[in-house]
Amino acid sequence: MSATTPSPRRCFLFMPGDSPRKLEKATTLDVDAVIADLEDGVAQERKQVARETVVQAFQSLDFGYRERWIRLNPADSPLFLDDLVATFAARPQGYVLPKVESPRQVLRLSHMLQVLEHARGWPAGHIQILALLETGQGILRAPEIAKADPRLVGLMFGAEDLAGDLGARRTREGWEIFHARSHVALVARAHELLAIDTVFVDLEDLEGLAAEAQRARNLGYTGKMAIHPRQVPVIQATFSPTEEEIQAARRLVEAFQAHQNAGTGAFVLDGRMVDMPMVRAAQKLLALAEQIAGRSTP
């Protein structure tokens, strides 16, 4: 893939940080991003083992085109600082910060990354941050969090923890988290950030996963988290433009350019009025298709 072609970020797969076998397995999967987990996926007594395992894996394994991320423990946890300092040498694409409830937490992580980058002589600001919003406070303060720091490249929505925080009962229909889910997508896209949808916990129901992923895409989400390798192909496919969508978008953009050359603004295509929002959406879809086509294959 060309250095100028950005990577697609459709699926973020969690792997427990204390499992060398599973981290190695991730290097064989066709997945856009791998998150080595130091939080929920690791028992309390194995946190240090996980930190060491993640560094060893990220330094020795060839992840190819797959982005490498690390999920820390929350910013107010006594484990947070040790997680960051112990794993920084792994030089991940970035860190996932869970249970974010204020811009201050993002800023604190960014400042620490700046100090660590400077100490190692690395380029300033190249390690990124994803904020996982999974509490009521985090959802309410999403607009503030979204503009907290330039390192922040996306907002992730955590429905399971949010339901626990609110005392809500999770249902397959998801109406209990619909407002929060829509809000996170809206805020993320308004600030031109990635919008990454929540995990789907039923590992056997791939049809249900596909339906939920499609609903998330319809809301404006750009990708989704996965908790098992079998979920990856479903998510990657759902957040990829279909050939029909690509052809329709290309036709719309070409028609727009032709009308621009003729000095025409809004125009009608296939009985529908076309204006700039529709053109921009088509351009974004084609850009994503180009990213996917330009990426190396496993």
Domain boundaries, the chain: 11-238, 243-294
- Residue range 85-142, pLDDT digits in tens: 999 999 999 999 999 999 999 999 999 999 999 999 999 999 999 999 999 999 999 9
Distance CA 240, CA 151 (A): 25
Tokens of 148: 């907290």
Q: Quick one: pLDDT band at residue 199, thresholds 50, 70, 90? A: very high
According to DSSP, the residues that pair with 224 across neighbouring strands are 11, 197
- Which stretch of DSSP H or E encloses residue 142? helix 142-146
Q: Quick one: pLDDT band at residue 3, thresholds 50, 70, 90? A: very low
Distance CA 73, CA 46 (A): 13
Check: CB of residue 143 under 8 Å from CB of residue 102: no
Superfamily of domain 11-238: Phosphoenolpyruvate-binding domains (3.20.20.60)
The interaxial angle of helices 159-166 and 178-190, nearest 10 deg, is 130
Write down the catalytic residue from 76, 202, 205, 275.
275
275 is catalytic: yes
For residue 67, what are the contacts with CB-CB under 8 A and spacing of at least 6?
7, 9, 32, 33, 34, 93
Rg (CA), the chain: 20
Tokens of 10: 């459709």
Distance CA 88, CA 82 (A): 10
Tokens of 95: 């860190």
